[in-house]
Chains A and B, each alone.
Chain A
Amino acid sequence: MRSNISLFTGLILIAFLVTLAILAPVIATHDPATTSAEKWLQPPSSEHFFGTDRLGRDIFSRVLYGARVSLSVGMLSTFVSLGIGTLLGLLASYYGGLVDVIIMRFADVVLVFPSMLLAITLVSIFEPALWLVILVIAGTGWPSIARLVRSEVLRLRQSDFVASARLLGAKNRRVVWRHLLPNAIGPVLVAATLCVPAAVMTEASLSYLGLGVQPPTPTWGNMLRDAQLYLRFAWWYAFFPGFFVFITVFAFHLTGEGLRQALGLSQTARRGWRAGS
């Protein structure tokens, strides 16, 4: 019951945020880029729901457009992580031996770099750009997926139904695609749901540090970076973009948590634990 509440609330919130992002041009009350010298740093009002920023731009409209960036970075990088992770996890478990050793030790190596450190290092070396941010986040996310896919496949391979499929003469390829992968989908789905909030958080942090998506594209992190200088005078400037980062990350965590409980998966996979930075 409880899991259903988490899952339900999480999915509703995600649907709400995705709607805001898609309908941003319709919902926005102002153009997110239009500046206005006389209307700078105005507090929230019926004209500007979330107030205005240092250039007199409407924060409500900019937050809506920021949702597009955050959600697409979150989801795209998760897809890339998922693709690379599943492929390498399958290869490692399928071939075993040297292939397994090489892939998994490489995953180990990537995993020992704190993702935030790896991200800022890579971004600082190349020029910051949207696609780079997506790739960098995906580059730090795939090892946990690969590890999960590999261990799931190894676990399932021992199971009776795979043995009977083999007895019935199923080819390796059929066993992998028809039996192993569909049964491994649950835990992988949960892991993917938890990849999204991590990506949203990393993108926001990178943009906040000025290493992420570059202005004038409105992102929540960029807005927080600007807001820092005016924190003393304009609480709304920092409050609303950060609040949306929080709600987005929270929504995906709720969904992941709900899914995990609905699928009856345990939380104490020690390997999955990573210290926060």
Chain B
Amino acid sequence: MKSALVRRFLQTVIVLFGVSVVTFLVMHAAPGHPLQANPELRLDPTAIERWLQLRQLDQPLIFQYLAWLSRVFRGDFGESLLYNRPVLELMGERLPSTLLLTLSAFALAMFLAVAVGIKIATQQNSWLDRLVCTISLAGISVPNFWLGMVLVLLFAYRFPILPAVGMRTPGDGSILDILQHMLLPLLVMVAGNFARYVRYVRSAVLDVMQQDYVKAARARGLGENEILYRHVLPNAAMPIITVAALSLPMLFTGAMVAEYVFAWPGLGRFIITSTMARDYPVIMTVNLYTASLVAIANFIADVLYLLIDPRLR
């Protein structure tokens, strides 16, 4: 148990190190000076100058990497070339709107997926099961930005009952106003996440139902409900909680393209617009941030697995 934990921890540290190297090398390949020559990007010339100086391109590569890494460890992620302000500050300002959207979407999608997933797993191959499986496959296949556009077409233009973009009406900003703005992006995110989760819940429950101890319980004459609640669900909960852990990064980075479509002022949209503007310090930071989140979420999921399933120890 302990050794497995230590091994996974070391692997995670190695992966995090790899993430920093990859991020650094990708950015090293990025052209620096052409930025100044491109007025279309509307970047701040003084910010570019300072960034170029910080990179110390005349020094050996390993030195540049270590200098950058030591700044990162001190919490200095540089300044945005577009806004001429610290990257961390800009990201922090956008995190609450993203969390509002992603947390609601996650909670709603997970709740629905668990309820529906258990229901259809207990009646495998019924018409309801097939219907939900087909719908969820369609849900995975729908491009979320297109779904967003179709919803805007329907509910903002054809039947103008909801706002098309943004998070609040200028001069308003009441809770009701924000909720109205949130509804369409929320719908898009819930649709996609529900489709993924429901398939997962279904197969997790089905997996457990094929285990010998469930057959044994049935042979002992236990009722189907008792088998479900006493034997199946507690065992199926683990893989589902693991998936929840693996969804953690999504909560903190937001749905990038979906936020972009709805001009939702969150982190996901910030990532996209900064990338398009070639705001290199921001790109570097969000890559480091997101990849580290995923690595840590994977670690948490593995730890959960080790804690629950003694066979893996």
B206 to chain A, nearest CB (A): 8
A-side contacts of B27, CB under 8 Å? 125
Contact among A108, A209, A210, A249 for B15, CB-based, below 8 A: A108
Contact among B30, B149, B261 for A125, CB-based, below 8 A: B30
- Report whether A232 and B157 are in contact in the complex, using a CB–CB cutoff of 8 Å: yes
Most B CB contacts (10 A, CB to CB) among A201, A227, A235, A276 go to A276
As a 0/1 sequence over residues 208 to 246 of chain A, the CB contacts with chain B under 8 angstroms (1 = contact) are 111100000000000010011001100100110011011
B185 to chain A, nearest CB (A): 14
Closest residue of chain B to A206, judged by CB? B257
Contact among B143, B149, B247 for A227, CB-based, below 8 A: B149
Is A178 on the interface with B (CB-CB < 8 A)? no
- Report whether A109 and B15 are in contact in the complex, using a CB–CB cutoff of 8 Å: yes
Interface size class of B (residues with CB under 8 A): 35 or more
Q: Give the total of A residues in contact with B, Cβ under 8 Å.
A: 52
Is B3 on the interface with A (CB-CB < 8 A)? no
Dominant secondary structure of chain B at its interface with chain A: helix
Dominant secondary structure of chain A at its interface with chain B: helix
- Report whether B26 and A121 are in contact in the complex, using a CB–CB cutoff of 8 Å: yes
Is B99 on the interface with A (CB-CB < 8 A)? no
Closest residue of chain B to A106, judged by CB? B18
- Report whether B146 and A224 are in contact in the complex, using a CB–CB cutoff of 8 Å: yes
Is A158 on the interface with B (CB-CB < 8 A)? no
Is A40 on the interface with B (CB-CB < 8 A)? no
Is B100 on the interface with A (CB-CB < 8 A)? no
As a 0/1 sequence over residues 171 to 205 of chain B, the CB contacts with chain A under 8 angstroms (1 = contact) are 00000000000000000000011001001100110
A-side contacts of B193, CB under 8 Å? 276
B-side contacts of A253, CB under 8 Å? 137, 140-141
Most B CB contacts (10 A, CB to CB) among A108, A121, A239, A253 go to A121
- Report whether B18 and A109 are in contact in the complex, using a CB–CB cutoff of 8 Å: yes
- Report whether A246 and B26 are in contact in the complex, using a CB–CB cutoff of 8 Å: no
Among B67-75, B76-84, B214-222, B290-298, the stretch that binds chain A is B290-298
B-side contacts of A231, CB under 8 Å? 149, 152-153, 157
Is A99 on the interface with B (CB-CB < 8 A)? no
B-side contacts of A224, CB under 8 Å? 145-146, 149
Among B55-63, B88-96, B110-118, B271-279, the stretch that binds chain A is B271-279
Besides A117-B256, A224-B145, 14 other CB < 8 A contacts? A105-B11, A109-B18, A113-B287, A121-B283, A124-B283, A125-B30, A125-B278, A201-B143, A208-B257, A235-B153, A242-B143, A266-B207, A270-B301, A276-B192
10 contacts between A and B (CB under 8 A): A112-B291, A120-B272, A209-B257, A209-B272, A242-B143, A243-B146, A253-B140, A267-B203, A276-B250, A277-B253
A interface residues (Cβ-Cβ under 8 A, vs B): 2, 105-106, 108-114, 116-118, 120-122, 124-125, 197, 201, 204-205, 208-211, 224, 227-228, 231-232, 235, 238-239, 242-243, 245-246, 249-250, 253-254, 257, 266-268, 270, 273-277
